[in-house]
Amino acid sequence: MHATLTDHARCLYGDEYRATPACDREHDEAYFIEELTFADADAILAMLRALCPQLVDGYLPVRIRNLAYRLVLLQKPDEPTLMREAASSLHLHGPDWDAIAADLERRADVVEAATRPTGSG
């Protein structure tokens, strides 16, 4: 058993910055996706930060990155910084996701505008 989601992802997909740890178990992406699906947002973000620290790098497949950001945003729906980070990731992976990325950026603007203090006279 891997100690963390990051360890499991590193073992399954590799890591551009660190050696893949020795592991004596067979890996099944379906099991990893189940673990990712039920992971908390902090564990998912830790995995993304460790394996894709510059957003454009890392060995995580695009489908896994997209799923990871989607799951984080479902758990933390009102965090503009995360919305923009997810949008940036989508923009990096081609025009197929540009409309979704633009929507995330608009939502981030709306959330920020709603939480901005209004001037009192």
- 22: pLDDT strictly greater than 80: no
The pLDDT score that the predictor gives to residue 120 is 55
Confidence check: pLDDT of 121 > 80 = no
The per-residue pLDDT for range 70-94, each reduced to its tens digit, is 999 999 999 999 999 999 999 988 7
Q: Compute the CA torsion angle 118, 74, 105, 59 (nearest 10 deg).
A: 140
C-alpha–C-alpha distance, residues 3 and 13, integer Å: 16
CA 107 – CA 30 distance, rounded (Å): 31
Cα 121 to Cα 118: distance, rounded to the nearest angstrom: 10
Asked if residue 50 lies in contact with residue 77, where contact means CB atoms within 8 angstroms, the answer is no
Q: Give the residue extent of every domain in the chain.
A: 5-115
pLDDT recorded at residue 27:
81
pLDDT in tens, 41-78: 999 999 999 999 988 888 999 999 999 999 999 999 99
Q: Does position 1 have pLDDT exceeding 80, yes or no?
A: no
Residue 24: what pLDDT?
A: 79
Amino acid at 67: L
Of the chain, the percentage scoring pLDDT greater than 70 comes to: 97
Assessment of whether the complete model's pTM goes beyond 0.85 = yes
- Quick one: pLDDT at residue 59? 92
